[in-house]
């Protein structure tokens, strides 16, 4: 008897928690915030190919989530990669994945807001954010990045010279090159 009511209490609490998380997620999406939705690995591979990465490149992933773009860039191209991620949990998860991949010497994850971080060390920048955040980020990229820096943006656009675009899954990924 007690076991049944304990179980139904746990199920109710779990459903309540799941509903709260879903409502919060929808609230962030409605506000055009960039919530954590990881890019598929196939998209990442196509995206990195577009950038024609060379040995001396340094890739920044703005909002690096679970670190998958950083790991793919360091593993495939042997380059240095820096992730800037505001979520402490995602930083912890990505650092764990990086340690498992054995690429700690190549990859750094910074727990910060990328709007408050110096981006001038990048030669390739990857973003998968929202249109609102891309629009807010554009002046900072224009100010801090060197000419020739490649910017890869999944799903949302910038007003930089577009070199190439490619359909990845249900959306477009674009390569911009700063003049
Ligand atoms: C759509 S996910 C993309 C994750 C990863 N780049 C990928 O493509 O798989 C966007 C990420 O950006 C992070 N983010 C959003 N705004 C940020 C900010 N101002 N500073 C740092 N991280 C941010 C979110 O926490 C989330 O992990």
Confidence band (pLDDT; 50, 70, 90) for 14? Answer: low
Distance 36 CA to ligand 1 centre (A): 6
* Rounded mean pLDDT, 156-160: 97
Q: If we measure between CA atoms, which residue out of 145, 150, 151 comes closest to residue 121?
A: 145
User: pLDDT at position 19, please?
Assistant: 64
The pLDDT confidence band at residue 154, using thresholds 50, 70 and 90, is very high
Is any ligand 1 atom within 6 A of the Cβ of residue 155? no
Which pLDDT tens digit goes with each residue over 70-117?
A: 999 999 999 999 999 999 999 999 999 999 999 999 999 999 999 999
Ligand 1: centre distance to CA 86 (Å): 7
CB of 60 within 6 A of ligand 1: the answer is: no
Q: Is 164 exposed, middle or buried (0-12, 13-18, 19+ CB in 10 A)?
A: middle
Q: Is the CB of 65 under 6 A from ligand 1?
A: yes
pLDDT tens digits for range 169-179: 888 999 999 99
Protein residue with its CA nearest to atom 20 in ligand 1: 113
Strands 124-127 and 58-62: parallel
Q: What is the pTM of this model?
A: 0.88
């Amino acid at each position: 008897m007690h076991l049944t009511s304990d179980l139904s209490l746990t199920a109710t609490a779990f459903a309540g928690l799941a509903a709260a998380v879903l409502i919060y997620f929808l609230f962030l999406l409605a506000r055009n915030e960039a919530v954590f939705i990881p890019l598929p690995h196939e998209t990442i591979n196509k995206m990195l190919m577009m950038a024609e990465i060379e040995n001396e490149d340094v890739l920044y992933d703005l909002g690096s989530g679970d670190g998958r773009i950083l790991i793919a860039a360091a593993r495939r191209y042997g380059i240095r990669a820096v992730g800037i991620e505001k979520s402490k949990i995602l930083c912890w998860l990505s650092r764990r994945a990086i340690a498992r991949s054995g690429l700690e010497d190549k990859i750094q994850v910074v727990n910060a807001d990328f709007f408050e971080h110096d981006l001038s060390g990048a030669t390739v920048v990857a973003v998968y954010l929202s249109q609102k955040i891309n629009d807010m980020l554009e002046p900072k990229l224009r100010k801090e990045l060197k000419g020739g820096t490649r910017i890869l943006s999944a799903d949302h656009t910038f007003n930089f010279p577009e070199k190439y675009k490619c359909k990845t899954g249900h959306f477009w990924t674009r390569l911009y090159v700063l003049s």
